[in-house]
Amino acid sequence: MALEILPIRTGGAAENMAVDFLLLQRYPPSPGLRRAGPQAAVPRFRHYGWRGPAFTFGYAQKIAFIRGTLPPGETFDLGRRPTGGGLVDHRDDWTYALVIPRGHPLEEERAAQSYREVHEALAAALRDQGVPCFTKVSQGEPAGLPSEASAKEGVCFQRAELYDVVHGNSGEKIAGAAQKRNKHGLLFQGSIWRPAVGGPVDWDKFHDDFAARLATVLGTAAEQVPWPDLNEDEVSGLTEQYSAPEWLEAR
């Protein structure tokens, strides 16, 4: 079993959220693992881009709060995630998803532990390029965080929570994520706010380093694979559902 690294794709907010969810729900088993059952599933990772300026927000968040928080006078592609968490600005972030199948030891850990282990792998990959960062290990504010940064709850990068990745000098939040567990496994949707990183980063190298460190955490090796044979009708149908006002304005 390997950590499958999917090709990088660009999509709209609804499409990206639909694909992430279907990678958890419907991901076809790899060649040679075509038998039925959860043992056929493998962990998978993808980094992806955005077709235009976009924001996503957590499954449980109120649409009135979201619309009142977005920058005024601008138009954005807006999507409600299948996971939780706060409002995320994707205009200059580095976005990824990780799916861990049911029964994997990390999937069976408490949410705080899986969150911590993924973010420690992320922080280590950034430190490999000289970025001073660490995972926040207490509920108190990290040193150097500007007081106004925690003024607005529900906005991902304005407050660092436990096991988020923060900058070692400025105290700014660099990376956050949200998780969803169901009978198929764990979906981990994460974002790195690149302006908070500071110095230059080779993002292609970071992609490979982060994937390799995640593979180590999962007890396997990283392997580049082709795009999975997802049911395109199902992708289109779920994308349409995630674009609909009934989904966006459900709360």
User: Which is catalytic among the residues 156, 165, 217, 218?
Assistant: 156
Of the candidates 23, 26, 45, 33, the one whose C-alpha atom is nearest the C-alpha of residue 216 is: 45
Q: Which residue has the tokens 């990290």?
A: 142
- The helix/strand/coil state of 147 is helix
CA 172 to chain centre: 18
Q: Which token pair is 24? A: 């958890």
Q: Can you point out the beta strands (E) in the chain?
A: 3-5, 9-11, 44-50, 54-57, 77-80, 88-89, 93-101, 133-135, 165-167, 173-182, 185-193, 222-224
What residues contact 225, with CB distance under 8 A and at least 6 apart? 4, 5, 6, 30
- The helix/strand/coil state of 168 is coil
Q: Which token pair is 126? A: 């950034």
Q: Which token pair is 117? A: 């282990």
Give 80-136 as a DSSP string: E-SS---BEE-TTEEEEEEEEETT-TTTTS-HHHHHHHHHHHHHHHHHTTT--EEE-
β-pair type (165-167, 133-135): antiparallel
133 is catalytic: no
Quote the crossing angle between the two packed helices 13-25 and 232-243, to the nearest 10°: 130
**Catalytic residue annotation:** 156
